[in-house]
Amino acid sequence: MRPLVAHVLGARPNFMKAAPVVRALGQAGAGQMLIHTGQHYDARMSGVFFTDLGLPEPDVNLHVGSGRHGEQTAAVITGVERELMARRPALLVVYGDVNSTLGAALAAAKLQVPIAHVEAGLRSFDNTMPEEINRRLTDQLCELLFVTSPEAVGHLANEGIAPGGVHFTGNTMIDTLVACLDRLDAEAARMAHGLPERYLVATLHRPFNVDHPEAAALLVKAMHQVADEADVIMPVHPRGRVVFEAAGLAGHRRIRMCEPLAYLEFMSLVRGAAAAITDSAGVQEETTFLRVPCLTLRPVTERPVTVTSGSNRLVRAGELASAVHGALAAGPYAGELPPLWDGASAPRIARVITTWLATHRAAGAAPRSQPLDVGPG
Ligand code: UD1
């Protein structure tokens, strides 16, 4: 019987990282199953990505939903544990840094199911972000660690992670972007949203930007200054909608708020934008690849390569308008792209995994020979 590779996906940024890996492993003949935790459950935050990216329907949906961090992570652990015990995969693959990533890794580690982490080793060194905690702890539990940029190798070494399992394979989110480039129609997306030729795309959803009305009010003031210079389209994550509405974001006639967008529509808009304003992780990378100037409203980034070899700049709300002005004057990023952001990361990952599965099998490490239950006492 073919060894089974299980993938855990949960939130929007997982889907574009996983799609090319699932495809490449499928082409390599691996047996696979997809567990969707249901952390994101709206059609616009989840379903539409499966359609756009050609991801197969999940085999299981745990319907974890929203909740406090403890509640959400605990529900992921419980559901993933149940599935791992029933299906006994040879390897669990987790993606990125969301609560579903850490919950799944914890469940697998306790059952001694080996874990692979796609996008290992990124660090912001800011533990106020839940993603940083998720990344650090997940990496400690993994046997295979696939990194997207060279500095991540050093971070893992500094944390005592054995180098043998660390593989610099590149960025699978960029694989997805490369695979979709032909389907990105910037002009059609611009027209559909009634935007002029020069416009900006903005996405803001981080708790430190949207969970506090005072922070949101500062951002709204900054966004209004920006909109004095150029039209802005802003798909709004459910997390920020209420607070941005209350703070009067849409009060400027050149700001259009809309629902979260499907992958192809969003990336089409980014491709045609004169600049992007974000606090997202993925958008920092996607704009670098598309050479669109990016202003990131965060004090730190776990993706420094987007600043050193890309179009990204970290800014505070108070300096946003002048930073946008400068970015518009400077035009598209024209420098080098980060190494191995070439659209071929997932086949590299698939090669490592298939070799690992073959070696693991030959060594007789059959998945789960010991009892899975802790049992009494
Ligand atoms: C999560 C990730 C974050 C990622 C973001 C991308 C963690 C810790 N955070 O943040 O890293 O950048 O996804 O989107 O895992 N909600 C809906 N519908 C949904 C999902 C969420 O309405 O389909 C609302 C709920 O009210 C929920 C809130 O959004 O309370 C936050 O959802 P949650 O999954 O906890 O975190 P995100 O902010 O989406």
Condensed to tens digits (0 to 9), the pLDDT of residues 349-370 reads: 999 999 999 998 777 654 443 4
Q: What is the pLDDT of residues 275-285, one digit of tens each?
A: 999 999 999 99
The atom of ligand 1 lying closest to the CA of 99 is 15
Q: Tokens 């996405």 label which residue?
A: 203
pLDDT along the chain (377 residues), means of 10: 94 98 97 98 95 96 98 98 97 98 98 98 97 98 97 98 97 98 98 98 95 93 97 95 93 96 97 98 97 97 94 97 97 94 98 96 58 50
For residue 371, what pLDDT is reported?
39
Question: Which residue out of 12, 239, 285 has the highest number of ligand 1 atoms within 8 Å of its CB and is therefore the one to mutate?
Answer: 239
CB-defined site of ligand 1, < 6 Å: 11-13, 39-42, 45, 66, 72, 98-99, 130-131, 205, 237-239, 280
Res 376: pLDDT: 52
Pocket test for ligand 1, best of 66, 97, 301 (most atoms within 8 A of CB): 66
Ligand 1: centre distance to CA 248 (Å): 22
Q: Is residue 273 part of a domain?
A: yes
Assess whether 39 and 87 both reside in one domain. yes
User: Whole-angstrom Cα distance, residue 214 to residue 224?
Assistant: 15
Mark whether 211 and 106 lie in a shared domain. no
276 and 162 assigned to the same domain: no
Q: How far, in Å, CA of 326 to CA of 30, rounded?
A: 49
- Give the residue, by CA position, lying nearest to ligand 1 atom 13: 11
Do residue 68 and residue 149 come from a single domain? yes
Cα 136 to Cα 192: distance, rounded to the nearest angstrom:
41
133 falls within a domain? yes
Pair 64, 94 in one domain:
yes
Q: Are residues 106 and 57 in the same domain?
A: yes
Give distance in angstroms: CA of 238 to centre of ligand 1: 8
Q: Look up residue 50 and give its two tokens.
A: 């499966």
Q: What pLDDT is recorded for position 172?
A: 98
97: in domain: yes
Domain residue limits at 161 = 4-171+340-362
Ligand 1: residue whose CA is nearest its atom 35 = 66
pLDDT of residue 373: 56
pLDDT for res 112: 97
Task: State in Å: Cα 197 to ligand 1 middle.
Answer: 32
Active-site residue flag, 63? no
State how many domains the chain has: 2
Q: Pick from 9, 14, 36, 39 the residue to mutate for probing ligand 1's pocket: most ligand atoms within 8 Å of its CB.
A: 39
Q: Examine residue 177 and state whether it is found in any structural domain, yes or no.
A: no
368 belongs to a structural domain: no
251 assigned to some structural domain? yes
State residue 8's pLDDT score.
98
pLDDT given for residue 369 in this prediction? 37
Residue 245 corresponds to which tokens in the numbers above?
């509405």
Do 285 and 355 sit in the same domain of this protein?
no
Q: How far is the CA of 239 from the centre of ligand 1 (A)?
A: 7
Residue-level pLDDT at 344: 98
Distances (CA, A) of 166 to 147, 169, 340: 7, 9, 15
Q: Whose CA is nearest to atom 2 of ligand 1?
A: 98
Domain-located, residue 180: no
Please tell me the distance from the alpha carbon of residue 238 to that of residue 77, in angstroms, as a whole number: 24
Q: Is 12 within the bounds of a domain?
A: yes
CA of 219 to the centre of ligand 1 (A): 20
Q: Are residues 200 and 117 in the same domain?
A: no
Instruction: Say whether both 166 and 200 belong to one domain.
Output: no
CATH of the domain at 315: 3.40.50.2000
Residue 191 shares a structural domain with residue 311: yes
Q: What is the position in ligand 1's atom list of the atom closest to the CA of 97?
A: 11
Q: How far, in Å, from the CA of 70 to the mean position of ligand 1?
A: 14
* The one catalytic residue among 40, 155, 205, 237: 205
Tens-digit pLDDT profile for residues 145-156:
999 999 999 999
Do residues 308 and 199 both lie within one domain?
Answer: yes
